[in-house]
Amino acid sequence: MPHEVTLITGDGTGPELAEAARRCVDATGVEIRWDIQEAGVEVMQRTGNPLPESVLESVRRTRCALKAPITTPVGTGFRSINVYLRQELGLFACVRPCKYYAGVRTYYHGVPVDLVIVRENTEDLYTGVEFERDRPETTELIDCINRLSRDRKIKTGLHETGVSIKPISVSGTERIVRYAFQYALENGRQRVTAVHKANIMKHTDGLFLSVARRVAEEFQGRGIEFEDRIVDNMCMQLVQKPELYDVLVLPNLYGDILSDLAAGLVGGLGVAPGANIGPEGAVFEATHGSAPKYKGLNKVNPTALILSGVLMLRYLKEHDAADRLERAVATVIGEGKYVTYDLKPDRNDPTAVGTREMADAICRAIAR
């Protein structure tokens, strides 16, 4: 039976990337019925809503979506369309593989970087529980903080201050750490590293670390090592010796930051796929922006969204097709002939091809 998949075309360069990724996925021979949906600033200009309910309804029905980049409108109630989608659909696990492909320009050329960021998606500072400065409720909260600080003999200068709340729960942590271990088992990974700042934030990151250690005990004897790293040290470790790390599991904010750092190791967001997975579905997306200045120019690199299609095929249990598509991407990048300007040794190389032409080359490589 064919798979039903929602294709969210996005805006800016999103529609071009969506079309390129769709063609490459179809070229694997897997039968997919695409339900095409629109979201973003261009939809908002027509309808007043950047994320129509029809998009959410489609994803709830198909339980699987491939999403091109979306511009978050400025000055609306949406902090981020991407964050809203994850929270509304319960997509608690953000999975960001960062793998070096021969031929990609990077300072880490030749270093066998192949790590996966597993980021908790629904808690931490990204819940958006904030208190605006100079409001009565904020003043009361700051007075309480100051009283606690005086009791602990800590001097503070809190005044006219905005405040954010950082919720991290036992259940949310258990869920994401267990997911990281299951991912490691299912994908032949050897080690899970929990990343935290428990030396300072005893009751939030401390909770994350203690729960992670407890969940790790459930997987003893199953071939997966466990360790933990303080987040600032982890940043240094990734710059100095990224090849030593495998699966990293992190709270929301650290996961957001380190996933971009790790993408930088392997060539940038242009080659960084992403998946957001929950108990009732998943959304696969490129992690870069919509680059509206390049809209319609047939110029941007489609690799990240095509590799997100690889993740989607694996989610759909189409493992052979996923492997063939990933090999085709690696082949085209490695040959270096039919690639976009950012994948050339010289970004001004006149032989660089466009989005469509690189997708064409990948489709041909699948058929070899």
For every one of its 368 residues, what pLDDT tens digit does the chain have, with 9 covering 90 and above?
899 999 999 999 999 999 999 999 999 999 999 999 998 887 877 877 888 899 999 999 999 999 999 886 665 555 677 778 888 899 999 999 999 999 999 999 989 999 999 999 999 887 776 666 667 666 666 676 666 665 555 555 556 667 788 999 999 999 999 999 999 999 999 999 999 999 999 999 999 999 999 999 999 999 999 999 999 999 999 999 999 999 999 999 999 999 999 999 999 999 999 999 999 899 999 989 899 999 999 999 999 999 999 999 999 999 999 999 999 999 999 999 999 999 999 989 999 999 999 999 999 999 88
Measured on CA atoms in the order 5, 56, 53, 9, is the torsion positive or negative?
negative
> Distance between CA 67 and CA 174 in Å, rounded?
28
Of the candidates 276, 267, 6, 270, the one whose C-alpha atom is nearest the C-alpha of residue 117 is 276
Contacts with 278 (C-beta within 8 Å, 6 or more apart), sequence order: 89, 90, 91, 92, 93
Residue type, 316: L
Query: Cβ distance 9 to 55 under 8 Å?
Result: no
> Distance between CA 116 and CA 25 in Å, rounded?
22
All domains of the chain, ordered by start, with CATH? 1-92+273-368 (3.40.718.10), 114-127+166-265 (3.40.50), 130-164 (no CATH)
> Distance between CA 196 and CA 176 in Å, rounded?
14
- Strands 93-99 and 114-120 turn out to be antiparallel
Name the residues annotated as catalytic. Answer: 126, 197, 232, 256
Angle, helices 205-218/170-186, rounded to nearest 10 degrees: 40
Q: pLDDT at position 47, please?
A: 79
Residue type, 26: D
Of the candidates 307, 267, 262, 340, the one whose C-alpha atom is nearest the C-alpha of residue 110 is 267
Of the candidates 337, 348, 306, the one whose C-alpha atom is nearest the C-alpha of residue 66 is 306
